[in-house]
Amino acid sequence: MTVNSESLPASAFDAANVTIRCPTLFRRGDSNRDGSIDISDAICILSGLFGFGGGPCQAVGADCLKAEDVNDDGASDITDPIMLCKLVPRKRSRA
């Protein structure tokens, strides 16, 4: 078994006490973590940027902050909600 790039014998582990931690999955653009990407995500990002209590991602961690970074430039800024609004499909009403 390899842990942190070091090879360890299987006898070093008690199978009943092994915990496997997987990285948190995130979906870029889903800043409020409701499972869909829509205008509410842009509002969530703007809320955090302009100090209105912050979006849900503010306290969750790095992976969630990556979800806010819509354009993947390494920062959560005004360009992210703008890009998100351009990407969200527009619903058309049928008359």
User: Tens of pLDDT along 55-93?
Assistant: 555 555 566 778 889 999 988 899 999 999 988 876 544
Q: Using alpha carbons, list the distances in angstroms from residue 64 to 10, 69, 76, 84, 89.
A: 34, 9, 11, 16, 22
- Domain 26-87: give its CATH code: 1.10.1330.10
Tell me how many degrees the CA angle 87-88-91 measures, rounded to the nearest 5.
Answer: 135
Helix-helix angle 79-87:39-49, to 10 degrees: 170
Instruction: Give the H/E segment covering residue 43.
Output: helix 39-49
pTM of the complete model beyond 0.85:
no
Q: State mean pLDDT over 6-28.
A: 63
